[in-house]
Amino acid sequence: MKRLILALVLCHPLHWALVAGAIQVWPEPPLPATMAKTTTLAVLAPDPEVLWLEMDADLLADVALGEDSEALAAVMWTVLNRRRFDGQLLETVIQHRQSYGSMRGGRFWASWRAVPGLRWSTRPCAWARAVETAYGVLLGFSPDPTRGAKFFHRSGTWAPPWAPHASEWVLVGSHHFYKAAA
């Protein structure tokens, strides 16, 4: 039972946010004597790198849910490869939330959310795994299996007309990765 509780605590997104320093915890201002309990207040740090990490983890959890760690890392590498191209800003990389998503019911659903990780409260282990993979890629523990790819799509789905010939694609997990055709 203790191991199960420990596993649940370690998989919780707030645990990883505290470890990563994304959340700072400090005591609240003094309370009236009638409410003299020791309480704490958690406030998100407005650190752009932490925001990148959370958004990357949100993308990984959405796009590659159920994939192995290598496939998660490959999706993360496409984000990094786009960022490295001419030093693009966040909104350019994700094309104003029109990039990195999926088609469901004939409608495009963006993988990026305004509050990263919020929708993963029912799947804390998937969120923790995505955060761990994002850290691994950002810290250089995972080499780029995509060979510099900036684009991908799921196997068996529509391939964009501008994609290069299939012989230039790299298959990782259930996604094909490639650079745009020249």
Query: Could you tell me if residue 60 is inside a domain?
Result: yes
Query: Could you tell me if residue 40 is inside a domain?
Result: no
CA distance 30 to 112: 38
Query: Could you tell me if residue 6 is inside a domain?
Result: no
Burial class (CB in 10 A: 0-12, 13-18, 19+), 168: middle
Beta bridge partners of 40: 27
pLDDT in tens, the chain (182 residues): 445 444 444 454 444 444 444 444 444 444 445 544 444 444 444 455 565 666 666 666 666 667 788 888 888 888 788 777 656 555 555 554 556 666 566 665 665 555 555 666 677 777 778 778 878 887 888 889 998 888 888 788 777 788 888 888 999 988 889 987 76
Q: What total of structural domains would you count in the chain?
A: 1
Domain span at residue 126 reads 47-178
The residue type at 72: L
> Which pair of structure tokens corresponds to residue 86?
């001419």
CA distance 145 to 154: 16
8 A C-beta contact, residue 88 and residue 157 = no
Query: Could you tell me if residue 108 is inside a domain?
Result: yes
Query: Could you tell me if residue 18 is inside a domain?
Result: no
CA distance 148 to 178: 8
pLDDT tens profile 32-84: 455 444 444 444 444 555 656 666 666 666 666 677 888 888 888 887 887 77
Query: Could you tell me if residue 14 is inside a domain?
Result: no
The residue type at 74: A
